[in-house]
């Protein structure tokens, strides 16, 4: 028997992923063509594989892929941009800021003055220091050099030297290509990452 999906199993949309069409567009594999068949957020997270098949979501591997991403989203596991809160018209601004370093980063030579973070804030709102401390760093991006934001699907804002950029919803941003395995797939992931860590340690000692 098919179990009914409880309301608690249906996650809330996010500012970056506000509706079904955006979700299907982000995960790619041409699933956005089925947006009209899955019109509501509730149906997106409650339809079973057989129901998706009747709606014409084919082949089976495409349905499995959709269900896989659906489960990840439930767990709060997003692709680039999924954790952004300040989003307008499918576009979010990110910028490099400097905040006082944690006490844990102090050394015998003295305290570290500051650290650089990439945060998501509206482009036209000045941010004072108390608010900076409360901001959460954006996942999937990093600072290169003095203040340049780098990461997938980043578009630097002209005249900022790379310290401010935009992240815009695009087709296939979160797509995992067919046959692509992260660190050798689930079975080999621990082994591969351990081997990589040992190699990094060996190089650091040499």
d(CA 17, CA 142): 22
CA quadruple 53, 58, 59, 62: dihedral, nearest 10: -100
Neighbours of 65 (CB within 10 A): 18
Task: Work out the burial of residue 96: count CB atoms within 10 Å of its CB; fewer than 13 is exposed, 13-18 middle, 19 or more buried.
Answer: buried
Span 161-177, pLDDT tens digits: 999 999 999 999 999 98
Any bridge partners for residue 95, and if so which? Answer: 119, 164
Report residues of the chain scoring pLDDT below 50.
Answer: 1-3
Torsion over CA: 82, 182, 31, 61 (sign): negative
* pTM of the complete model: 0.76
Span 2-31, pLDDT tens digits: 445 555 589 999 999 999 999 999 999 999
- The pLDDT value recorded for residue 132 is 67
């Amino acid at each position: 028997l098919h179990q009914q999906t409880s309301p608690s199993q249906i996650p809330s949309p996010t500012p970056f992923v506000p509706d079904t069409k955006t979700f299907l567009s982000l995960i790619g594999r041409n699933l956005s063509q089925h947006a009209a068949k899955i019109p509501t957020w509730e149906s997106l997270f409650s339809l079973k594989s057989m129901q998706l098949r009747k709606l014409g979501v084919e082949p089976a591997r495409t349905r499995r892929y959709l269900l896989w991403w659906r489960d990840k989203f439930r767990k709060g596991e997003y692709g680039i941009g999924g954790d952004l809160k300040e989003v307008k018209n499918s576009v979010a601004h990110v910028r490099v800021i400097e905040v006082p370093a944690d006490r844990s980063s102090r050394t015998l030579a003295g305290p570290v003055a500051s650290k650089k973070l990439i945060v998501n804030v509206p482009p036209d709102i000045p941010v004072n220091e108390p608010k900076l401390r409360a901001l959460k760093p954006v996942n999937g991006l990093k600072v290169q050099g003095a203040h340049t934001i780098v990461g997938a699907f980043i578009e630097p804002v002209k005249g900022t030297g790379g310290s401010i950029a935009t992240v815009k919803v695009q087709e296939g941003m979160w797509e995992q290509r067919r046959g692509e395995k992260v660190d050798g797939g689930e079975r080999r992931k621990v082994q591969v990452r351990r081997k990589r860590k040992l190699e990094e340690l060996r190089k650091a000692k040499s």
